[in-house]
Structure 1
């Protein structure tokens, strides 16, 4: 892919606000042919489309679809409409995600916590990608990109966010495997970027405390790094770099030593105690 998404069809989930909207702004600024926004918040989505449309001035076609990606049945129906009304995306950013409270696992509810977290964070990116990846593969002479926004929580266990960590670990395992499958099958035009950031100051993790030497990240910084990595086809983005260091130490140190030195010593295992957040 070139240095921009100019002329490409871009689809972003969780795009009505926050970082999803920031990705959409980048796509419009780079004159993507179309920028398709998915979100469950109809009113916020309408405002975002109006504002991006005003900025675009017709250079990018900006449209939206109200869809809750936790409703796996709705994904196929909405994807069918996108292919018919817009065309298959060249760039897919699986950005939508949720996180529930700071309770221990046995205090959570399967219906209100476990199921929706796994559906939105882990299953939805798989279902959405499965809808669009055949079209990406078929258009072998056009560069395509899939960006999966995971989390450092998927690489490192953390008390009070067991299901969230599980959902992101599943996303990472699938995303990396998909990348390798595409390479093995010689579909080099489609590249996958897996993103594993620490806490980001979007409000989603309000109250969470960044571990020692791991500051809460600025969303503009993250979006910029992810966007550049996506264009380059970079396989993995770990933010900040200490996320990679923690992952390496987890593989090198005995479990109890890691728990004591990194988990407790750096404050990782206490980082969610005052979490209030939002979906």
Structure 2
């Protein structure tokens, strides 16, 4: 059954700029009632909310400054959002970073925060807890579906997101909670995360930053707006547990993950 965005309430992490902001914009264009922008950057967050509210001529967005790696702050953001809108229907755990040189922070943001965001989404939307169900989209990457020498720890974090989200997307959780879990895997997208990536390669490996830049440049790129259009398709059409790829400026498509038992090497 198709999911309708119209009249719904969303919470998006890392949405003060870049792809996260485009997700908010795209959903609002399709009738989203309200969105909570959760981000660490207070200046950009406030500017983004003012711009969105002015653009749509009414209060469609609020901003809550949050370090999503701190569980207490993320819990506060969910609570504040729920108090404001009295509802929550869509959660997009978008905040992430590609900085293998600071891998502990990278893991905290790409793995721990996405886990916390997923559990909080279940707490607020889950039918088992008095909610009405909803949708969680966790942002992995095409690098959650392949290897890449230049950023091995980043690649590992995105494999984590993919595996966790697919597991939450199994019938046991959906039947209990009414919450669908979907995975978005963007390809190379023209944002600072990609343009600055080679500066933050894993240390003590000569030439690794240059290799990462070369590897990323070999992949087809796209603008954030294309990923946002893909997000709308994913939310409205995606089946529970499904994995979608959006790359090269082309329409998003669903991928099929093969059963491991079919992969035995002869």
1:160 aligns to 2:165 (yes or no): no
Task: Compute the TM-score of the two structures, normalised by the length of structure 1.
Answer: 0.75
Instruction: Kindly indicate whether the alpha-carbon contact (under 8 Å) linking 1:148 and 1:175 is maintained by their aligned counterparts in 2.
Output: yes
Task: Compute the TM-score of the two structures, normalised by the length of structure 2.
Answer: 0.78
Instruction: Kindly indicate whether the alpha-carbon contact (under 8 Å) linking 1:140 and 1:189 is maintained by their aligned counterparts in 2.
Output: no
1:227 aligns to 2:217 (yes or no): no
Cα distance change of structure 1 residues 3 and 252 upon mapping to structure 2, 3 Å threshold: closer
Choose from 246, 257, 266 the match for 1:239.
246
Question: Hey, what's the Cα distance between the residues in 1 that align with 2:120 and 2:131?
Answer: 20
Question: Hey, what's the Cα distance between the residues in 1 that align with 2:2 and 2:254?
Answer: 29
Question: Hey, what's the Cα distance between the residues in 2 that align with 1:170 and 1:38?
Answer: 22
Question: Hey, what's the Cα distance between the residues in 2 that align with 1:217 and 1:253?
Answer: 35
Instruction: Kindly indicate whether the alpha-carbon contact (under 8 Å) linking 1:40 and 1:67 is maintained by their aligned counterparts in 2.
Output: yes
1:121 aligns to 2:110 (yes or no): yes
Match of 1:9 in 2: 9
Cα distance change of structure 1 residues 14 and 50 upon mapping to structure 2, 3 Å threshold: same
Cα distance change of structure 1 residues 199 and 163 upon mapping to structure 2, 3 Å threshold: same
Shift of 1:88: 4.0
Shift of 1:8: 0.8
For these two proteins, the number of residue pairs brought into alignment is 240
Instruction: Kindly indicate whether the alpha-carbon contact (under 8 Å) linking 2:185 and 2:245 is maintained by their aligned counterparts in 1.
Output: yes
Match of 2:220 in 1: 215
Match of 1:178 in 2: 168
Instruction: Kindly indicate whether the alpha-carbon contact (under 8 Å) linking 2:36 and 2:62 is maintained by their aligned counterparts in 1.
Output: yes
Match of 2:25 in 1: 25
Instruction: Kindly indicate whether the alpha-carbon contact (under 8 Å) linking 1:152 and 1:243 is maintained by their aligned counterparts in 2.
Output: no
Shift of 1:83: 2.5
Match of 2:97 in 1: 98
Match of 2:71 in 1: 72
Question: Hey, what's the Cα distance between the residues in 2 that align with 1:242 and 1:21?
Answer: 22
1:202 aligns to 2:191 (yes or no): yes
SS in 2 for 1:204: helix
Question: Hey, what's the Cα distance between the residues in 1 that align with 2:253 and 2:74?
Answer: 35
> For residues 135-180 of structure 1, what are the alpha-carbon distances to aligned partners after superposition, in whole Å with 9 as ceiling and x for unaligned?
3222889551111110122222212212111111111111000001
Question: Hey, what's the Cα distance between the residues in 2 that align with 1:30 and 1:153?
Answer: 29
> For residues 1-50 of structure 1, what are the alpha-carbon distances to aligned partners after superposition, in whole Å with 9 as ceiling and x for unaligned?
75641111111111111111111112222232221100111111111101
Structure 2 gap ranges (5+): 199-212
Instruction: Kindly indicate whether the alpha-carbon contact (under 8 Å) linking 2:94 and 2:138 is maintained by their aligned counterparts in 1.
Output: yes
Greater displacement, 82-91 / 36-45: 82-91
1:61 aligns to 2:60 (yes or no): yes
Shift of 1:210: 5.7
CA RMSD of aligned residues (A): 3.0
> For residues 164-211 of structure 1, what are the alpha-carbon distances to aligned partners after superposition, in whole Å with 9 as ceiling and x for unaligned?
11111111111000001x555514732111012221112311163467
Shift of 1:130: 1.1
SS in 1 for 2:175: coil
Choose from 136, 139, 142 the match for 1:149.
139
